[in-house]
């Protein structure tokens, strides 16, 4: 196998190519990488097939061309490869459905001896991922390479060709069939994810409608600026979304902007995909590609390299793009082009890549007996790195290290969050069990006190125990409600508020007496009906009654009133007590004013406020020197 590369100079091809040297060759593959207009390609194809009618010829429009170590734009490269023991066949497909095109191409070209399938598709209409999956559905063993056609970032019209047929929609391909041809493929990505992870919310194939709650265009404006968002897709293609596919990092670059703010990408994304924005890691790009891509002992006999690399790599680092190409050109003839999407085969899967350097090494030579590895020192002989390149390298290192530090801190924060959540869950579980286990002994103690008093009459010491037990019972009810809040039956029913409040006053009367206070209850009506949840109502009433008992001054009356105003019922609990200094904070969780001689956790009033907010109950608080009044306004009474 031999490959000869030519740069078209707008002159007669006879002056550029010695056609006589190819006339007796039977297996000729011509690849044309056209950075010029379609008529130029048409004229070149016509001349080539006229001079070499036995040749198999495929071509593609480009975003840059590769002729050995030379990188060009808006030129045309003609790459002629001759084979001794490899047969070739080509075809084109142009159905509307990209998957079907892949199926048809594979059915037409692939056989048991196919070692390599080179295929080019248009760059603006074909869904590259679907096309490759169509090929894979027919044959998932053959190595697939090539890419999507470019048009110098104009994004207006791309084209591909097979023999003398040039098409603007569809794909072309050539199969290399052989029993001896050795094919090795490899790729370099070198784009690193940066920033926080985002989620694809709404997508249809390769058209994304929402990313993390934002329109994709707004997403790009937020993270890359207004200029980039307005210039998409020509600008900003260097900053793709990065996802994972079959353990490969896969970039998805913008190829089309829509009026509704959605964006089309060069390859499918899926709902729920986790993605990050990516940037070109110059440090990695500048590494020796021979060492990073191949075990060099496997390519020492390589006779030709075909490179299909992303347009973003050339545009992102135009002064350094030859760094990853020149080492290969010093081993064997090298040709290719810069694409709008690269085709790659890995472990039975065909993948559409972006931002990626893909390469195929071909040889028809028998295995060499020389096992000495090829030297990788070739890369060191490339031209000196400019100061600008070194600055980019340093900036990239800074971004990469900052990103790694951020990821590390985020991981530690997430671990801390999980640990804290586990502690909270354990605490809730403990409280749940503790509350459950407390209920039985409380009931037994209260029941035995009542039984003793029925048989033996009142007892001072038992009365003190009873008061304490009722306080514990109230705290138990609060904790039980907080723990089981999500399981509380929210059903409401008709309650006579007068009887309900009176019954709760009766329950706490003994406690009030113990604290040298007493209740004075009055109601403007004998019956006040409202629809309410009984558990929630009890928490409102009990917390206010127990607070009034705890904080009232000795030998004072606690007034409890039910007044009717404008068809609303006002429940008023008023007593002489120390002034409430901060009437805003009094309802906050765990807040207690400077009262060190009283028990409590500062949870009761916060619980009351939450219930009132849920049930649309108004709260009014007034306090002055040695008095305080809490009013709860219940609406829609009967």
The correct answer on CATH 3.90.850.10 for the domain covering 490-634 is no
The pLDDT value given to residue 602: 60
Look at residue 424 and tell me whether its pLDDT is greater than 80.
no
Is the pLDDT assigned to residue 227 strictly greater than 80? yes
Q: Is the pLDDT of residue 32 over 90?
A: yes
Domain ranges of the chain: 2-185+288-383, 191-280, 385-488, 490-634
| Mean pLDDT within 129-148 | 96
Name the token pair of 106: 């594979």
Nearest to 252 by CA among 148, 145, 404: 148
| Segment 345-372 mean pLDDT | 83
Nearest to 297 by CA among 361, 234, 354, 252: 361
- Res. 382: pLDDT tops 50: no
DSSP 392-418: HHHHHHHHHHHHHHHHHHHHHHHHHHH
What's the pLDDT band for 380 if we cut at 50, 70, 90? very low
Q: Which residue has the higher pLDDT, 559 or 508?
A: 559
The tens digit of pLDDT for each residue in 533-544 reads: 888 898 899 989
CB 570 within 8 A of CB 633: yes
pLDDT at 277 over 60: yes
To the question of domain 191-280 being in CATH 1.10.3470, the answer is no
Convert the pLDDT of each residue in 435-465 to its tens digit: 656 666 777 777 787 787 788 877 777 777 7
Q: What is the pLDDT of residues 282-341, one digit of tens each?
A: 767 666 666 656 655 567 789 999 999 999 888 887 877 888 898 899 999 999 999 999
Q: How far apart are CA 415 and CA 413, in angstroms?
A: 5
Q: 565: which strand partners?
A: 568
- pLDDT at 269 exceeding the cut of 60: yes
Mean pLDDT of 594-611: 68
Q: Is the pLDDT of residue 599 over 70?
A: no
- CA pair distance 439, 453, nearest whole angstrom: 21
Give the residue among 187, 188, 189, 209 at the shortest CA–CA distance from 200. Answer: 209
56-61, strands of its sheet edge to edge: 2-7, 76-83, 27-34, 56-61, 160-162, 165-167
The lowest-confidence range among 2-11, 325-334, 452-461, 483-492 is 483-492
Across all residues in the chain, what is the average pLDDT? 86
Residue with the two structure tokens 């404006």:
221
**What is the domain class of 385-488 according to CATH?**
mainly alpha
The residue with tokens 């890419």 is: 147
Q: Indicate the range of 48-52, 334-338, 507-511 predicted with least confidence.
A: 507-511
CB-based contacts of 408, cutoff 8 Å, min separation 6: none
């Amino acid at each position: 196998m031999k490959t000869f590369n030519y740069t078209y100079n707008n002159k007669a091809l006879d002056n550029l190519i010695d056609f006589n040297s190819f006339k007796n060759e039977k297996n000729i593959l011509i690849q044309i990488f056209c950075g010029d207009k379609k008529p130029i390609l048409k004229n070149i194809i016509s001349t080539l097939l006229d001079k070499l009618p036995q040749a198999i010829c495929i071509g593609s429009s480009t975003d840059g061309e590769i002729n050995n170590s030379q990188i060009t734009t808006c030129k045309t490269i003609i790459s002629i490869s001759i084979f001794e023991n490899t047969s070739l066949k080509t075809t084109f497909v142009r159905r509307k459905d990209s998957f079907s095109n892949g199926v048809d191409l594979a059915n037409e070209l692939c056989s048991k001896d196919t070692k390599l399938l080179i295929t080019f598709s248009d760059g603006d209409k074909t869904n590259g991922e679907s096309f490759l999956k169509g090929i894979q559905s027919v044959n998932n063993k053959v190595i697939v390479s090539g890419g999507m056609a470019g048009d110098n970032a104009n994004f207006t019209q791309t084209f591909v060709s097979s023999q003398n047929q040039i098409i603007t929609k569809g794909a072309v391909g050539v199969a290399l069939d052989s029993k001896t041809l050795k094919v090795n493929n490899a790729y370099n990505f070198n784009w690193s994810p940066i920033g926080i992870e985002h989620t694809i919310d709404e997508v249809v194939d390769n058209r994304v409608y929402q990313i993390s709650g934002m329109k994709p265009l707004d997403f790009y404006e937020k993270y890359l600026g207004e200029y980039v968002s307005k210039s998409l897709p020509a600008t900003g293609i260097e900053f793709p979304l990065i996802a994972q596919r079959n353990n490969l990092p896969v970039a998805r670059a913008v190829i089309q902007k829509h009026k509704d703010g959605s964006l089309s990408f060069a390859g499918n994304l899926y709902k729920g995909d986790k993605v990050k924005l990516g940037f070109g890691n110059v440090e990695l790009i500048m590494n020796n590609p021979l060492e990073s891509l191949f075990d060099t002992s496997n390519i020492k006999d390589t006779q030709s390299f075909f490179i299909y690399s992303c347009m973003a790599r050339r545009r992102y680092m135009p002064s350094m793009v030859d760094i990853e190409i020149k080492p290969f050109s010093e081993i064997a003839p090298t040709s290719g082009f810069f694409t709008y999407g690269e085709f790659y085969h890995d472990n039975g899967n065909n993948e559409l890549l972006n931002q990626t350097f893909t390469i195929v090494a071909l040889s028809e030579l028998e295995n060499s007996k020389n096992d000495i590895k090829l030297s990788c020192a070739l890369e060191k002989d490339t031209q000196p790195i400019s100061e600008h390149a070194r600055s980019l390298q340093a900036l990239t290192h800074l971004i990469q290290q900052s990103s790694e530090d951020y990821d590390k801190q985020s991981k530690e924060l997430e671990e801390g969050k999980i640990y804290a959540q586990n502690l909270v869950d354990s605490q809730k579980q403990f409280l749940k069990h503790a509350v459950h286990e407390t209920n039985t002994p409380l009931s037994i103690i209260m029941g035995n006190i009542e039984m003793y008093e029925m048989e033996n009459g009142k007892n001072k010491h038992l009365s003190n125990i009873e008061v304490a037990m009722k306080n514990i019972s109230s705290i138990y009810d609060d904790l039980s409600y907080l723990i089981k809040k999500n399981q509380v039956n929210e059903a409401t029913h008709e309650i006579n508020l007068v009887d309900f409040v009176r019954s709760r006053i009766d329950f706490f009367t003994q406690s009030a007496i113990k604290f040298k206070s007493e209740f004075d209850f009055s109601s403007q009506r004998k019956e006040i009906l409202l629809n309410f949840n009984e558990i929630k109502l009890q928490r409102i009433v009990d917390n206010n009654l127990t607070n009034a008992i705890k904080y009232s001054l000795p030998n004072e009356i606690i007034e409890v009133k039910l007044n009717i105003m404008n068809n609303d019922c006002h429940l008023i609990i008023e007593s002489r007590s120390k002034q409430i200094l901060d009437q805003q904070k009094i309802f906050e969780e765990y807040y207690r004013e400077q009262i060190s001689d009283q028990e409590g956790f500062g949870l009761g009033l916060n619980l009351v406020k939450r219930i009132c907010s849920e049930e649309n109950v108004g709260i009014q608080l007034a306090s002055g020197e040695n008095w305080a009044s809490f009013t709860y306004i219940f609406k829609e009474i009967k």
